[in-house]
Amino acid sequence: MCRHAAWLGPPRSLTTLLGEPEYGLIRQSYAPRMQRHGMINADGFGVGWYDPVSGGPVRYRRTIPIWTDANLPGLAGAARSGCLLAAVRSATVGMPVEESATAPFADGRWLLSHNGRVRGEAVRSLVDSAESTCDAAWVAAAVFARLRDGVPLGDALTEVVTHAGTKDPEARLNLLATDGSAVAATTWGDTLFLDTGDDGVLIASEPLDDRPAWQAVPDRHLVLATGGGVRVQPF
């Protein structure tokens, strides 16, 4: 299993997802509070943000535990954006530990993270190839293929998740994806929380702090956050 988080709103640094909150992703990597599968997320990490000049996404991915990267604090403090995405990884048994298997996955303007597991045959019928042999890379490739065909972000996630979840009843398919101006997330087998403050929205596998603003998203729901607000709806 893994943990991930995203921010959409006024520009802020990556530290607001990683080390600044009491239960940011750095702490969730070694002491998650609500993780149902696995106890530690030390098989790599990745962060993504949108460059204010080019407007395109930038990624930084490693296969080491997030707390061991001496370069990350400086990078996270300097990287500022109105759209941020970060993930820490607990690799499913049998899956490779490599950067190409580490979220966020990217294609054009899109970034995507997968929190969960799914059998390969449940997604490989949806797309011809993927960046890695890991299940998350195939899920990402399937979503990206639909986005390239013009399917809206929320609909692309819904189509892939419902197809894979039907083919594999034991699948866990919590996805978190963005194009820089909207963030979409799914709940399918694991936790997800929202903090819809006055200036933006935080979406995370589990709360980054103990403020009462965090709200649990019910299982098998789609979350779509834009500059105009947040919508939560069942599949």
pLDDT of residue 96: 86
Q: How far apart are CA 175 and CA 162, in angstroms?
A: 12
Residue in 100, 19, 37, 104 with CA at minimum distance from that of residue 63: 100
- Mean pLDDT check: name the lowest of 121-130, 155-164, 215-224: 121-130
Q: How confident is the model at residue 94 (pLDDT cuts 50, 70, 90)?
A: confident
Q: Does the pLDDT at position 112 exceed 90? A: yes
Q: How confident is the model at residue 43 (pLDDT cuts 50, 70, 90)?
A: very high
Q: How confident is the model at residue 38 (pLDDT cuts 50, 70, 90)?
A: confident
Contact 5, 14 (CB under 8 A): no
Q: Can you spell out the DSSP letters for 13-63?
A: EGGGTTTSSTT-HHHHHH--SS-SS-S---S-EEEEEE-TTT--EEEEEES
Q: In what order do the strands lie in the sheet with 183-187?
A: 105-107, 110-117, 172-178, 183-187, 221-226, 229-234
pLDDT of residue 93: 79
The domain segmentation of the chain, as residue ranges, is 2-234
Q: Specify the fold of 2-234.
A: Glutamine Phosphoribosylpyrophosphate, subunit 1, domain 1 (3.60.20)
Q: Which residues are catalytic?
A: 2
For residue 86, CA distances in Å to 89, 98, 127, 211 come to 10, 17, 25, 20
